[in-house]
Amino acid sequence: MRVHFCGTRGSTPAPGPEFVHYGGHTSCVALSLDDADGPTLLLDAGTGLRRVTSLLDRRPFEGSILLTHLHWDHIQGLPFFQSGDNPDSQVTLRLPPQEDGTDAESVLARMMSPPFFPIRPRNLRGNWTFDVLPPDAFSEAGFAVGGFRVVAKDVPHKGGRTVGYRVSDGHSAIAYIPDHCPTEFGAGPDGWGEYHPAVLDLARDVDLLIHDAHLVPEELPAEASFGHAAADYAVELGRRAGAQRVALFHHKPDRCDAAIDGLVDRFSSSTVTVLGASDMLELAL
């Protein structure tokens, strides 16, 4: 499996020279099978989704997009995804079932329709299918998406149903938990939130844990209520779950390159390898 980080920022894009190394695009991770000519599974559709077109050499996208939730920073790239908005694309987009039962296309249209945007989801060119995750996604076995197997679990986050994903190709596995508020279950053993069963199961023995690192511990009292985790929690979760590597993700929009470098350096002696996710970083698992 190849992991392409296309957008690693959280909440809002962060343009400017102080964000060049880690990038300013919001959440999107593209996954490729080893024998595939480009990614076929996309996790989230933030502004980083625009970068997937270059990974495909501008060919039409044929595959699936799985959304963790519906906040702007995870869906704003949809109408600007040129390989998806293509007459020859074949795209299946799935999102968590909504608590009020609203269908997938209708809930996306709340953001993407006049007067807030000139077109609706149905106006994207190509063959698009909008649906919610199937019930099997929440089972122990998960469901098949192309050559991948995906398990979804609910994780706490502010303002709408949110899931994390575990994705495997039969050889390697990743956990993708970009928005997570573990303090919803209490302070936990370190004061950073509980290491609850859902995230431990998703991250168990993965090759790579991609996790919300929006905050640092001293920011939790004032900002955890927005629904995010501290980087220290992400690293400790990886250690407890037996992950080989932890990628700090969903960087705070005003956390500059130097600050993220310093954050990563703090974990240089950790028993789990820690890296700062950056736009266009590619890992082969």
Residue 87 class from Cβ within 10 Å (0-12 exposed, 13-18 middle, 19+ buried)? exposed
Report pLDDT digits (tens) over 193-235: 999 999 999 999 999 999 999 999 999 999 998 999 999 999 9
How confident is the model over 167-194, as a mean pLDDT?
A: 97
Structural domain includes residue 187? yes
Tell me which residue range forms the domain holding 169.
2-277
Structural domain includes residue 245? yes
Structural domain includes residue 282? no
For residue 100, what pLDDT is reported? Answer: 93
Instruction: Determine how many CB atoms are found less than 10 A away from the CB of residue 28.
Output: 28
Report pLDDT digits (tens) over 8-60: 999 999 999 999 999 999 999 999 998 888 999 999 999 999 999 999 999 99
Structural domain includes residue 201? yes
For residue 36, what pLDDT is reported? Answer: 85
Structural domain includes residue 19? yes
Is the CB of residue 218 less than 8 Å from the CB of residue 246? no
Structural domain includes residue 262? yes
For residue 123, what pLDDT is reported? Answer: 97
Domain tally, the chain: 1
Is the CB of residue 224 less than 8 Å from the CB of residue 191? no
Structural domain includes residue 204? yes
pTM, entire model:
0.97
Report the CATH number that the domain containing residue 55 is assigned in CATH.
3.60.15.10
Structural domain includes residue 263? yes
For residue 221, what pLDDT is reported? Answer: 94
